[in-house]
Amino acid sequence: MISIEINKSSQLKEIPNPENLGFGTIFTDHMFMMDYTQDQGWHNAKIVPYGPIEFDPSMMVLHYGQETFEGLKAYKGNDGEIFLFRPEYNGQRLNDSNKRLCIPEIPIEDFIKSIEALVKIDRRWIPEGIGTALYIRPFVFATDASLKVHPAKTYKYMVILSPVGAYYTEGLNPVKIQVEEEYVRASVGGVGFAKTGGNYGAGLLAQEKAAQNGCSQVLWLDSKEHRYVEEVGTMNVFFVKEGTLITPALSGSILPGITRDSVIKIAEKLGIPVEERKIDIHEIIEASEAGQITEAFGTGTAAVISPVGTLVYQGKEYCFNHHRIGEISQKLYDLVTGIQLGEIEDLYGFRHIIR
Ligand SMILES: *Cc1c(COP(=O)(O)O)cnc(C)c1O
């Protein structure tokens, strides 16, 4: 296991008012960093004051995008205890992404240790209040000074922290989503299942197009037939069809979300039938017209559950549950956030206490 050298900041910042946190623009006092070289492996683990870092302009990640990242949150319970939510899953997923991008794996215990150590040092930054948390962003990138296309020989792994408010300014209010028929997010055989920056860069144009049409995100369809539902924006997607929770099966082009997996496990325990399968957009449209789709929502760490109020498909609008959050969506939101904050019993072993 790594040992971490700690160099504390001598000038601590002022903690911002929890009401104006927004998402991902404020950073804490410290950051974690660790290097990889072929002969030493992962080494030089340290926590240092947060700040800019200097690199060679030819640094490989800037040119060829060899990078992966994760996203999770730390929560403070009522009695002051600090929790993470299923961090070993994030560690496993980071390594699955790393394998796909030819990046050396990081032992899961070191991944968790890096996060625990940093969160403990900056624990005064964990906001208290509904919908707030300390967002944790681990990331790995190729640092070779080289324009040659090859898997790099050197890497940096870093962790930064950002106190966040509710992800969507609209809160739990349902949003309007555009079904995207031209651009695609990912294809089978590509990197859609990996958390890598390129997936996000490739998605921006469709997002802009949706925003121009008054929609807050896009519903992605598969790359081959432009017909099967994949994800909503940067979240996994669920529909409630005649009382059954349906979500696209993990096909290789879909990111295996931890919120997605948690929602499925919780729903099953509640006795709600769950189907992971291919979902044809025509099935959703026809079922909407027949009044069989009662709820739709996205899932992800940032927003937890984000209800979809309206789908826009080929210029026509399809509204779910009179544009209000549905009963099942609300229940799943309450249960997931209740477990995350330590307010309800964790029947699943999801909560990870930082001691
Ligand atoms: C991170 C991510 C998700 C959600 O994953 P969580 O583990 O639930 O946060 C869904 N889709 C994409 C494309 C993502 O990058």
| Other residues' Cβ atoms within 10 Å of the Cβ of residue 277 | 9
Q: What one-character-per-residue DSSP string does 265-296 give? A: HHHHHTT--EEEE--BHHHHHHHHHTT-EEEE
- Say which residue, 222 or 251, is predicted with more confidence: 222
User: Is 176's C-beta closer than 6 angstroms to any atom of ligand 1?
Assistant: no
Residue 349 lies in a domain: no
Ligand 1 mutation pick, 72, 92, 236, max ligand atoms within 8 A of CB: 236
Ligand 1 atom index nearest CA of 302: 9
What is the average pLDDT across 158-178?
A: 82
- pLDDT, position 132: 86
Distance 259 CA to ligand 1 centre (A): 8
Q: Say yes or no: 125 and 202 in one domain.
A: no
- Residue pair 159/137 in contact by the 8 Å Cβ criterion: yes
Residue 335 lies in a domain: yes
Ligand 1 atom index nearest CA of 300: 8
Q: Say yes or no: 148 and 182 in one domain.
A: no
- pLDDT, position 22: 82
Distance 237 CA to ligand 1 centre (A): 10
Q: What is the mean pLDDT of the chain?
A: 95
What is the average pLDDT across 303-313?
A: 94
Task: Report whether pLDDT(289) > 90.
Answer: yes
Q: How confident is the model at residue 168 (pLDDT cuts 50, 70, 90)?
A: low
Last residue of a domain, one of 120, 141, 164: 164
User: Is 16's C-beta closer than 6 angstroms to any atom of ligand 1?
Assistant: no
Q: Say yes or no: 16 and 118 in one domain.
A: yes
User: Is 184's C-beta closer than 6 angstroms to any atom of ligand 1?
Assistant: no
Q: Can you give the pTM of this predicted structure?
A: 0.96
- pLDDT, position 165: 85
User: Is 259's C-beta closer than 6 angstroms to any atom of ligand 1?
Assistant: yes
Residue 129 lies in a domain: yes
Q: Whose CA is nearest to atom 13 of ligand 1?
A: 234
Residue 252 lies in a domain: yes
pLDDT tens for each residue of 22-37 = 889 999 999 999 999 9
Lowest-pLDDT range of 160-169, 175-184, 233-242, 259-268: 160-169
Residue 345 lies in a domain: no
Residue 67 structural domain: 5-164
**Would residue 186 be called left, alpha or beta, if left means φ above 0 and alpha means ψ between -120 and 50 degrees?**
beta
Q: Say yes or no: 42 and 108 in one domain.
A: yes
Residue 292 lies in a domain: yes
Report the domain count for the chain: 2
Q: Say yes or no: 201 and 267 in one domain.
A: yes
Residue 159 lies in a domain: yes
pLDDT tens for each residue of 131-155 = 789 999 999 999 999 999 999 999 9
Q: Say yes or no: 155 and 215 in one domain.
A: no
Percent of the chain surpassing pLDDT 70: 98
Ligand 1 atom index nearest CA of 261: 8
User: Is 71's C-beta closer than 6 angstroms to any atom of ligand 1?
Assistant: yes
Q: Say yes or no: 62 and 93 in one domain.
A: yes
Q: Which CATH number belongs to the domain containing residue 230 in this structure?
A: 3.20.10.10
The burial of 239, by beta-carbon neighbours within 10 Å (0-12 exposed, 13-18 middle, 19 or more buried), is given as buried
- Residue pair 300/267 in contact by the 8 Å Cβ criterion: no
Percent of the chain surpassing pLDDT 90: 88
Q: Say yes or no: 179 and 158 in one domain.
A: no
Distance 231 CA to ligand 1 centre (A): 9
Ligand 1 mutation pick, 136, 235, 350, max ligand atoms within 8 A of CB: 235
Ligand 1 mutation pick, 207, 234, 261, max ligand atoms within 8 A of CB: 234
Task: Report whether pLDDT(50) > 90.
Answer: yes
Task: Report whether pLDDT(76) > 80.
Answer: yes
- pLDDT, position 80: 87
Between strands 274-277 and 244-248, the pairing is parallel
User: Is 257's C-beta closer than 6 angstroms to any atom of ligand 1?
Assistant: yes
Identify which of 184, 185, 214, 174 has the alpha carbon closest to the alpha carbon of residue 315: 214
- State how far the Cα of 272 lies from the Cα of 133, in Å rounded to an integer: 29
Distance 53 CA to ligand 1 centre (A): 27
Last residue of a domain, one of 164, 191, 226: 164
Last residue of a domain, one of 164, 186, 218: 164
Task: Report whether pLDDT(178) > 70.
Answer: yes
User: Is 72's C-beta closer than 6 angstroms to any atom of ligand 1?
Assistant: no
Q: How confident is the model at residue 172 (pLDDT cuts 50, 70, 90)?
A: confident
What is the average pLDDT across 304-321?
A: 94
User: Is 234's C-beta closer than 6 angstroms to any atom of ligand 1?
Assistant: yes
Between strands 5-6 and 41-49, the pairing is parallel
- pLDDT, position 167: 62
Q: Say yes or no: 110 and 74 in one domain.
A: yes
Q: Say yes or no: 191 and 100 in one domain.
A: no
Q: Say yes or no: 276 and 133 in one domain.
A: no
What is the average pLDDT across 256-270?
A: 97
Distance 71 CA to ligand 1 centre (A): 8
Residue 350 lies in a domain: no
Q: Say yes or no: 208 and 335 in one domain.
A: yes
Q: How confident is the model at residue 198 (pLDDT cuts 50, 70, 90)?
A: very high
Task: Report whether pLDDT(166) > 70.
Answer: no
- pLDDT, position 171: 54
pLDDT tens for each residue of 88-101 = 999 999 999 999 99
Q: Which CATH number belongs to the domain containing residue 114 in this structure?
A: 3.30.470.10
Q: Whose CA is nearest to atom 14 of ligand 1?
A: 234
- State how far the Cα of 168 lies from the Cα of 238, in Å rounded to an integer: 18
User: Is 340's C-beta closer than 6 angstroms to any atom of ligand 1?
Assistant: no
Ligand 1 mutation pick, 255, 265, 306, max ligand atoms within 8 A of CB: 255
Task: Report whether pLDDT(130) > 80.
Answer: no
What is the average pLDDT across 304-333?
A: 93
